[in-house]
Structure 1
Amino acid sequence: MFPFARKDYFPSNLAENLPLSTPIDTLQFTVFDTETTGFNLAKEDRIIELGAVTIKGMEVIEHSAFQTYVNPNRQIPREITELTGIANEQVAIAPDAMQAIRRLTSLADKKSACYVGHYIAFDMHAIKYELKRRNLHWKAPKAIDTLNLIGYIAPSYDMRDLEKYARDFGTRIYQRHSAIGDAMTTAFLFVELLHICHDRGIRTWGDLLRIGEGA
């Protein structure tokens, strides 16, 4: 028999074995966003910016925010530079993806219940494939998508635009198509959604997982 291939796991740095009965207003979350060279993450496209911020006690901890450009070791397409404002010159001396990802997981610091994002599947895949290129496996960290919370609160919504949702829910809007700007916008939107969910009886970590993960 052939031995099973060995997998090296990259730590998510999230809180482990968090009781489902834990009140939402005692939880910590790590909200993040990425900008990339394109959408074909499994092949040629790479992360070019990563931004993140902490939420604690249903409040955004603004001083915890961090942003870094990321060297993709490839050219940034012109249309991406036009969209994000990120040019090849800005990423040429930037940290590589591994350094940026380590900063993200350091922010979680084993205190955050999960990662949070707006259409977070894309950002999770961006990190997953950066790690995979280094033979590392990110073992399905818990993640909550603001889209799922919006779907619970207002099922009639059928768009994904972050700025539209932030405007409709009366929360702050930061620079669009910037990883740190979108992370901050998402964080304030998420806090507002948490308060609405709390008022509707979503009071525990288990309750939040049920609607946030789209189960």
Structure 2
Amino acid sequence: MSDAKFNVGYRIIKYYFWQRYLFNKQVEKEKKNPSYQKLSTMLKEFEEEKPLLQRQQLENCTFTIFDLETTGFFPEIGDEIVSIGAVKMQGDKILKHMTYYEVINPLQTVSAETKKFTGLKRADFLKGKTLPVGLKEFLDFCKGTILVAHPASFDINFLQKRIGKWGLPSFDPEFIDSYTLAKELLNEQDCYLDDLVHRFEIMKRSRHHALNDAIMTAEIFQELLKVCKEREVETIKDLHEVNGIVI
């Protein structure tokens, strides 16, 4: 068995025989806080906004481009969010003064590998917010906008899975996967963040910092919207159709 498979297997056993019980006890305590109840109410509002957002012209849309940093790739077995970064766009204009960044203090100990990968230190986590508080602030920031992530298949899924673990209502926002969009518009397979930063000659910022990655994603999305305009992709519905999504 490879080291990677052994590590995942060990983490699954550790989670189901120990960590999930501790996590559930901690969640029960958090449920008594007002921030948890406010977040629960807010999550329900995002699904209600979708029909209106889907009819908008791209040039009139407000987007929230965001990125998560996490302790790993498997929210189902205990990986958590450690930071959220976001920047807004109005049409194809990046609103650099409208940003959100917060460190999230996870319920479990952060590994040395995650600290090294993200550049976050113990002191950062001690000053960070709990997920219900940080997530409520993030949703306040992006309410009424269309979420964009690169790839959204990871970030949106991770949010949904962790929200479920907290016993909160489901999260079903209107969103765009800029990774999938880039593959369809550019007809290329190598459309990861670093690939497109190089392709579009975007200034490379320090990676795996949630706000830095969100800003670079916004600059990539800005270039993709230019391609959309050239191809007369004018509405959110049109853009979804490019991505192979029928709404």
TM bucket, shorter chain: 0.7 to 0.9
Residue pair 1:52, 1:65 contacting (<8 A) in 2 also: yes
Q: What are the ranges of 5 or more consecutive residues in structure 1 without an aligned counterpart? A: 1-7
Is 1:128 the counterpart of 2:160? The answer is: yes
Is 1:39 the counterpart of 2:73? The answer is: yes
Q: Which has the higher helix share?
A: 2
Partner residue of 2:44? 11
Partner residue of 1:22? 56
Partner residue of 1:52? 86
- Determine the C-alpha separation between the residues in 2 that align with 1:147 and 1:135: 30
Deviation of 1:161 after TM superposition, in Å, equals 2.7
Q: How does 1:72-151 map to 2 (within 5 A)?
A: 72-110=106-144, 112=145, 114-151=146-183
Residue pair 2:147, 2:174 contacting (<8 A) in 1 also: yes
Alignment size in residue pairs? 205
Compared CA separation, residues 185 and 139, structure 1 to 2 (3 A): same
Is 1:70 the counterpart of 2:101? The answer is: no
- Determine the C-alpha separation between the residues in 2 that align with 1:18 and 1:136: 24
Compared CA separation, residues 16 and 161, structure 1 to 2 (3 A): closer
Name segments (4+ residues, structure 1) moved above 6 Å: none
Q: What is the CA deviation profile of residues 51-72 of structure 1, one whole-angstrom value per residue up to 9, with x for unaligned ones?
A: 1111102111111111110001
Deviation of 1:212 after TM superposition, in Å, equals 4.1
Identity, in percent, stands at 24
Is 1:204 the counterpart of 2:235? The answer is: yes
Q: What RMSD over aligned residues (CA atoms) do the two structures have, in Å?
A: 2.0
Compared CA separation, residues 54 and 213, structure 1 to 2 (3 A): farther
Q: 1:182 aligned to 213, 227, 230, which one?
A: 213
Residue pair 2:46, 2:172 contacting (<8 A) in 1 also: no
Compared CA separation, residues 47 and 145, structure 1 to 2 (3 A): same
Q: What are the ranges of 5 or more consecutive residues in structure 2 without an aligned counterpart? A: 1-39
Residue pair 1:149, 1:212 contacting (<8 A) in 2 also: yes
- Determine the C-alpha separation between the residues in 2 that align with 1:12 and 1:31: 19
Q: What is the CA deviation profile of residues 60-110 of structure 1, one whole-angstrom value per residue up to 9, with x for unaligned ones?
A: 111111111000122212222221111233112310111111122111222
Relative CO higher for 1 or 2, CA cutoff 8 Å, sep ≥ 6? 1
Q: Which has the higher strand share?
A: 1
TM-score, L = length of structure 2: 0.76
- Determine the C-alpha separation between the residues in 1 that align with 2:82 and 2:147: 19
The one-letter amino acid of 2:117's match is: L
Q: Secondary structure at the match of 2:52?
A: coil
The one-letter amino acid of 1:138's match is: S
Compared CA separation, residues 69 and 118, structure 1 to 2 (3 A): same
Q: What is the CA deviation profile of residues 101-145 of structure 1, one whole-angstrom value per residue up to 9, with x for unaligned ones?
A: 1122111222x1x21000112111222233222211234222111
Q: What is the CA deviation profile of residues 141-188 of structure 1, one whole-angstrom value per residue up to 9, with x for unaligned ones?
A: 221111122112222x22353022122023343221111111111011
